[in-house]
């Protein structure tokens, strides 16, 4: 390969979560969301933040009005739009005038690279498109803007008609573009194709090049890295790879690859890199998406170890099964326990939870055997740390029973008006006192939870602050139909920490009851027996 850049070359990081990311299915950012995200991206250290397309909707225009009052330390806000419409000269084009009205120092415009689009979408002569690209860039430069030109569909355009595709980026360069971004808009190209095309363009023009990749062939990250290796000094993408169709190139994977693995210079120092996982989770929360546990670098499973051999090896040397240090991106190692576990899993998980025990402690083997037995019955402890800790407490002989359930009953009654009434009754013993209570609920599980709390809160008032935050039911053998065993995972919170518990049975109410009991017991153990567990923030 030719024209490779030295890794000492600085790569500029351009985030388009607020514009391209918001085009993803089921994602809609409010104005307040956009302002919060922009502030977070700036804090992380991005060079550019694309705020939106002011010519397309009032919300984006209002964003540009309000972001002027936000003191940014690192990033330049970019307004996004297109080259002038064929009917307009740049000076009279509403889109370009809206870009100038935002007052941003940087403007990003896209133009057509593919002759197919010029003929069938714009319906103009090829030469007219070239003139409109050059004139649009030149007009923006006359207004003292830094201009980033996005060459839309450039790679497909190059393979269809290389001479014309190159003519479009020459037009942008002639107009004075500060950076020309080669867009892999359809997301279907492979890294070797991207590398080859970037190197051709690098020989044709001297303007700095960038890459904007999509992920339709699951190569968005690889294509972006290949483009940087071949001479691009500017990379665009979104946090968590959100975007239209299959998404954009994922900056949460691109950034650590460039900085930690390849040594490219960016604005990001060690301290900022450690905020990457937090940034990923922040964007997921604002976008109302569940974080992808299996996402590289920042996912909860990225450094999770389950197989006994793996855990034993990582215990001796993390490099055996970890490609980087988890804390380099603000993540952490997790040891999972399951039927595949060995003693090392139990020992390391106990240590992670704050226990000081020896590996040859008989409780370690006892817990391992019990977990394997329970998992064969449908339990799963990978996502149920609280249930695991209660199990460990019992085998260490430290479990302190706070109450005894003498019996419970649930009633589901369909009423004449078509409604359903759910009631649960429960009898518990606390010390030498018995309580017999009943409670209604929106369903049998809710009624059981309410009845248990009603019986126990007079003895343990801290239970008033506990609430259920997530409830999942998994059918373990769909072929068994309505008689299938189910696994219930419940997440509880007291407003400060969260904890997860599990139950399993062929009866969904019994499985839920097991999990609810673990959730309540864990809270009492945590607040009254010992408070050693590292909190997991809500």
Written as one string, the DSSP assignment of 505-528 is ESSHHHHHHHHHHHHHHHHHIIII
* Per-residue confidence (pLDDT) for residue 420, from 0 to 100: 83
Beta strand ranges found along 247-313 (DSSP E):
304-305
Question: Taking CA 125 as the corner, what is the angle to CA 122 and CA 128, rounded to the nearest 5 degrees?
Answer: 90
What are the C-alpha distances in Å from 130 to residues 119, 137, 390?
13, 11, 70
Query: Domains in the chain and their CATH numbers?
Result: 12-286 (3.20.20.70), 304-369 (no CATH), 377-397+465-538 (3.30.160.340), 403-459 (3.30.160.740)
Q: Of 73, 99, 28, 19, which is closest to residue 51 (Cα–Cα)? A: 19
Burial class (CB in 10 A: 0-12, 13-18, 19+), 463: buried
* Per-residue confidence (pLDDT) for residue 538, from 0 to 100: 33
Q: Of 247, 172, 253, which is closest to residue 216 (Cα–Cα)? A: 247
Q: Of 537, 504, 505, 499, which is closest to residue 521 (Cα–Cα)? A: 499
Task: Say how far apart CA 453 and CA 447 lie, in whole Å.
Answer: 10
Q: Which residue has the tokens 């606390």?
A: 430
The pLDDT tens digits along the chain (538 residues) read 334 455 567 999 999 999 999 999 989 999 989 999 999 999 999 999 999 999 788 899 999 999 999 999 999 999 999 999 999 999 999 999 999 999 999 999 999 999 999 999 899 999 999 999 999 999 999 999 999 999 999 999 999 999 999 999 999 999 999 999 999 999 999 999 999 999 999 999 999 999 999 999 999 999 999 999 999 999 999 999 999 999 999 999 999 999 999 999 999 999 999 999 999 988 988 888 878 989 999 998 999 888 778 878 887 888 899 999 999 999 988 777 665 667 777 777 787 777 878 878 888 888 888 888 888 888 888 678 899 889 888 888 888 889 999 998 999 888 777 778 899 999 999 999 999 999 998 888 899 999 999 999 999 999 999 988 888 888 887 666 667 888 898 989 998 888 989 999 999 999 999 999 999 999 999 887 654 444 333 3
Task: Say how far apart CA 182 and CA 385 lie, in whole Å.
Answer: 47
Cβ pair 212, 12 in contact under 8 A: no
* Per-residue confidence (pLDDT) for residue 355, from 0 to 100: 81
463: helix, strand or coil: helix
Beta strand ranges found along 260-416 (DSSP E):
304-305, 334-335, 404-414
Q: Of 21, 214, 185, 26, which is closest to residue 117 (Cα–Cα)? A: 185
- Neighbouring CB atoms inside 10 A of 442's CB total 10
Task: Say how far apart CA 181 and CA 155 lie, in whole Å.
Answer: 11
* Per-residue confidence (pLDDT) for residue 531, from 0 to 100: 44
Task: Write down the number of H helices and E strands in the chain.
Answer: 18, 16
Q: Which residue has the tokens 């008609």?
A: 161
Q: Which residue has the tokens 């290389």?
A: 162
At 131, phi and psi to the nearest 5? Answer: -65, -40
* Per-residue confidence (pLDDT) for residue 154, from 0 to 100: 98
Question: Taking CA 287 as the corner, what is the angle to CA 286 and CA 291, rounded to the nearest 5 degrees?
Answer: 95
* DSSP category for residue 538: -
Contacts of 316 (CB under 8 A, 6+ apart): none
Terminal Cα-to-Cα distance of the chain (whole angstroms): 49
- How much is the pTM? 0.72
Task: Say how far apart CA 421 and CA 131 lie, in whole Å.
Answer: 72
Q: Of 131, 120, 110, 209, which is closest to residue 160 (Cα–Cα)? A: 120
Cβ pair 225, 197 in contact under 8 A: no
* Per-residue confidence (pLDDT) for residue 340, from 0 to 100: 60
Task: Say how far apart CA 172 and CA 201 lie, in whole Å.
Answer: 13
- The token duo for 274 is 């450690």
* Per-residue confidence (pLDDT) for residue 341, from 0 to 100: 64
Task: Say how far apart CA 223 and CA 228 lie, in whole Å.
Answer: 9
Complete edge-to-edge strand list for the sheet that includes strand 404-414: 404-414, 420-430, 433-441
Cβ pair 191, 226 in contact under 8 A: yes
């Amino acid at each position: 390969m030719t024209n490779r850049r030295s890794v000492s070359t600085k790569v500029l990081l351009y985030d388009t979560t607020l514009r391209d990311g918001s085009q993803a299915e089921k994602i809609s950012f409010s104005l307040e969301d956009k302002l919060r995200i922009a502030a977070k991206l700036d804090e992380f250290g991005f060079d550019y933040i694309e705020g939106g397309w002011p010519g397309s909707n009032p919300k984006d225009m209002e964003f540009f009005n309000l972001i002027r009052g936000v003191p940014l330390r690192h990033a330049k806000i970019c307004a996004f739009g297109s080259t002038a419409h064929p009917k307009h000269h740049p000076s009279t084009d509403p889109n370009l005038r809206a870009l100038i009205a935002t007052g941003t120092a940087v403007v990003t415009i896209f133009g057509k690279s593919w002759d197919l689009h010029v003929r069938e979408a714009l319906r103009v002569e090829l030469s007219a498109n070239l003139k409109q690209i050059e004139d649009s860039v030149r007009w923006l430069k006359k207004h003292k803007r830094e201009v980033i030109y996005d060459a839309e569909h450039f790679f497909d355009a190059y393979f269809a008609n290389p001479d014309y595709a190159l003519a479009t980026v020459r037009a942008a360069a002639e107009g004075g573009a500060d950076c020309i971004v080669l867009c892999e808009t359809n997301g279907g190209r492979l890294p070797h194709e991207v590398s080859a095309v970037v190197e051709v363009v690098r020989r044709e023009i001297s303007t700095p090049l960038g890459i904007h990749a999509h992920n339709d062939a699951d190569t968005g990250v690889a294509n972006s890295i290949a483009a940087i290796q071949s001479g691009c000094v500017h990379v665009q993408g979104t946090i968590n790879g959100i975007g239209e169709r299959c998404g954009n190139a994922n900056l949460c994977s691109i950034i650590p690859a460039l900085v930690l693995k390849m040594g490219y210079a960016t604005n990001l120092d060690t301290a900022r890199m450690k905020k990457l996982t937090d940034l990923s989770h922040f964007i997921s929360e604002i976008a109302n998406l569940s974080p992808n546990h299996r996402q590289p670098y920042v996912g909860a499973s990225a450094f999770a170890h389950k197989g006994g051999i793996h855990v034993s090896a990582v215990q001796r040397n993390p490099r055996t099964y970890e490609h980087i240090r988890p804390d380099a991106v603000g993540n952490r190692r997790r040891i999972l326990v399951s039927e595949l576990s060995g003693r090392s899993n139990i020992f390391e998980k106990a240590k992670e939870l704050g226990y000081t025990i020896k590996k040859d402690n008989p409780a370690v083997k006892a817990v391992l055997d019990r977990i394997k037995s329970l998992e064969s019955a449908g339990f799963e402890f990978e996502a149920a740390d609280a249930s695991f800790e209660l199990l460990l407490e019992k085998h260490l002989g430290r479990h302190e029973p706070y109450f005894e359930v003498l019996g419970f009953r649930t009633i589901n009654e369909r009423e004449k008006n078509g409604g359903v009434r759910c009631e649960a009754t429960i009898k518990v013993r606390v010390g030498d006192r018995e309580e017999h209570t009943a409670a209604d609920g929106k369903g049998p599980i809710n009624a059981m939870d309410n009845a248990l709390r009603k019986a126990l809160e007079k003895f343990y008032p801290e239970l008033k602050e506990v609430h259920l935050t997530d409830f999942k039911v998994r059918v373990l053998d769909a072929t068994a139909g309505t008689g299938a065993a189910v696994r219930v995972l419940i997440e509880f919170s007291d407003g400060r920490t969260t904890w997860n518990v599990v139950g399993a049975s062929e009866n969904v109410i019994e499985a839920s009851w097991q999990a609810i009991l673990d959730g309540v017991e864990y809270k009492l153990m945590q607040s009254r027996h010992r408070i050693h567990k590292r909190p997991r923030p809500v």
